[in-house]
Structure 1
Amino acid sequence: MIDHLEVQTRDVDLLCDFYKTVLEPVGYALKIDDAVKGFGNDERMDFFIVQGEPSSEVHYAFQSSDRKTVDRVYSLAGQKGFTLDREPSLAPHIHPNYYAAYLRDPDGRLVEFVSHNED
Structure 2
Amino acid sequence: MKYLIDHVQVTVRNIKKAEPFYDVLCEALGFDLSKKIHAYLPELDMEVIEYLDDAYDFGICSPLSEYQDDTIHRRKPGAVHHVAFRAATREAVDAIYEILLPMNTEIIDPPQIHHSHGPNYYALFFKDPDGIKYEIVCNH
Q: Do the two structures share a fold, i.e. TM-score over 0.5?
A: yes
Percent identity for Structure 1 against Structure 2: 30
Match of 1:32 in 2: 37
Match in the other structure for 1:49: 60
Counterpart of 1:33 in structure 2: which amino acid? Answer: H
| 1:44 shift after superposition | 3.3
> Paired residue for 1:69?
92
Q: Which runs of 5+ in 2 are unaligned?
A: 40-46, 75-80
| Equivalent in the alignment of 1:92 | 115
Unaligned runs of 5+ in 1: none
User: Contact between 2:122 and 2:137, CA under 8 Å: does it hold in 1?
Assistant: yes
State how many pairs are aligned: 116
Q: Give CA-to-partner distance per residue, 1:64-116, whole Å, 9 cap, x none.
A: 12111111111111111121111000123322221100111111111111112
What is the alpha-carbon distance in structure 2 between the residues aligned to residue 18 and residue 45 of structure 1? Answer: 19
Which structure has the larger Rg?
2
SS in 2 for 1:56: coil
> Residue 92 of structure 2 aligns to a residue in which SS?
helix
| TM-score calculated relative to the size of structure 2 | 0.72
The equivalent residue for 1:15 is 18
Task: Measure, in 2, the Cα distance between the counterparts of 1:60 and 1:96.
Answer: 21
CA RMSD of aligned residues (A): 1.9
Q: TM-score, normalised by structure 1?
A: 0.83
Q: CA deviation at 1:40?
A: 3.2
Letter in 1 for 2:62: Q
> Secondary structure of 1:93's partner?
helix
Q: Give the structure, 1 or 2, with the largest relative contact order (CA under 8 Å, sep 6 or more).
A: 1
Deviation sequence 1:16-57 (CA, Å, 0-9, x none) = 21122123222124421333111133x134211111047431
Would the aligned equivalents of 1:56 and 1:107 in 2 still touch at CA under 8 Å?
no
